[in-house]
Chains A and B, each alone.
Chain A
Amino acid sequence: MEENDVHNTQPAGMLDKAVRVTKIITCTYMTVLLIVMALILGVSILLRFFFDQPVAWSNTITRYAYIHIVLLGAAISYLEGSHAQIDVIYHRVPQKMKIVFDLVHYGVMLFLCLVLTVMGGKHVLTMWHVHSPVLAGFPLGAVYLAVPLCAVVMMMYIFQQLAGITCRKEG
Chain B
Amino acid sequence: MLYICLMIICFFVLMAIRVPIPFALLASTLVYYFGAEIPLNIVVVRLLRSFDSFILLAIPFFILAGRIMSEAGISDRLIRVADLMVGRVKGNLAYVNIVVSMFFGGITGTAISDTTAIGSILIPSMVKKGYSKSFSAAVTAASSTMGPIIPPSLMFIIYGSIAQVSIRDMFLAGAIPGLMVGISQMAVVKIHSLKYDLPRREEVISPHEAFRIIRDATLAIMLPVIILGGILFGIVSPTEAAVVAAFYAAIIAIFVYRTLTFKRLLTVIRDSAVETGSVSIIIAAAALFGWALSNEQAPQIFADMLMESSASKWQILLMINLMLFGLGMFMDSIPAIMIVTPVFLPLFTLLNIEPLHAGLFMSINLITGLATPPVGCCLFAASIISESPMEKISRAIIPFLAANVIVVMLVTYIPGITLFIPNLFK
Chain A residues 92 to 138 lying within 8 A of chain B, measured CB to CB, are 101, 104-105, 108-109, 111-112, 115-116, 119-120, 122-123
Taking chain B's interface residues, is the majority helix, strand, or loop, or is none over half, making it mixed? helix
Nearest residue (CB) in B for A49 is B235
Chain B residues 25 to 64 lying within 8 A of chain A, measured CB to CB, are 26-27, 30, 40-41, 43-45, 47-48, 51-54, 56-57, 60-61, 64
Say yes or no: is A19 at the interface (Cβ < 8 Å to chain B).
Answer: no
Say yes or no: is B224 at the interface (Cβ < 8 Å to chain A).
Answer: no
Chain A residues 42 to 89 lying within 8 A of chain B, measured CB to CB, are 42, 45, 49, 59, 62-63, 66-67, 69-78, 80, 82-89
B48 A143 Cβ-Cβ under 8 A = yes
Nearest residue (CB) in A for B13 is A104
Say yes or no: is A162 at the interface (Cβ < 8 Å to chain B).
Answer: no
A31 B269 Cβ-Cβ under 8 A = yes
A108 B19 Cβ-Cβ under 8 A = yes
Picked from A66, A69, A86, the residue with its CB within 8 Å of the CB of B15 is: A86
The residues of A that contact B61 with a CB separation of less than 8 Å are 38, 41
Tell me the complex Cα distance, A41–B23, Å. Answer: 31
Separation in Å of the B13 CB from the closest CB of chain A? 9
Say yes or no: is B389 at the interface (Cβ < 8 Å to chain A).
Answer: no
The residues of A that contact B30 with a CB separation of less than 8 Å are 111-112, 115
Say yes or no: is B276 at the interface (Cβ < 8 Å to chain A).
Answer: yes
Separation in Å of the A14 CB from the closest CB of chain B? 25
Picked from B14, B244, B269, the residue with its CB within 8 Å of the CB of A35 is: B269
Instruction: Give B287-314 as 1s and 0s: 1 = Cβ < 8 Å from A's Cβ atoms.
Output: 0000000000000000000000000000
Picked from A30, A59, A82, A101, the residue with its CB within 8 Å of the CB of B18 is: A101
Say yes or no: is A27 at the interface (Cβ < 8 Å to chain B).
Answer: yes
Q: With A63-B57, A147-B48 given, is the CB distance from A84 to B282 under 8 Å?
A: yes
B374 A88 Cβ-Cβ under 8 A = yes
Say yes or no: is A144 at the interface (Cβ < 8 Å to chain B).
Answer: yes
Tell me the complex Cα distance, A73–B271, Å. Answer: 9
Say yes or no: is B341 at the interface (Cβ < 8 Å to chain A).
Answer: no
Say yes or no: is B129 at the interface (Cβ < 8 Å to chain A).
Answer: no
New A-B pairs, 6, CB < 8 Å, besides A27-B274, A108-B23: A66-B60, A70-B51, A73-B275, A84-B334, A86-B16, A108-B27
Report the 9 A-B pairs with minimum CB-CB distance, sorted nearest first: A73-B277, A83-B20, A74-B281, A77-B278, A30-B273, A74-B277, A70-B280, A101-B17, A84-B332
29 contacts between A and B (CB under 8 A): A30-B273, A34-B64, A34-B272, A35-B269, A38-B247, A41-B239, A41-B240, A63-B52, A63-B54, A66-B56, A70-B51, A71-B281, A74-B22, A75-B277, A76-B277, A77-B278, A78-B23, A83-B21, A84-B335, A85-B20, A104-B17, A105-B14, A108-B23, A109-B27, A112-B26, A115-B40, A116-B44, A123-B44, A147-B47
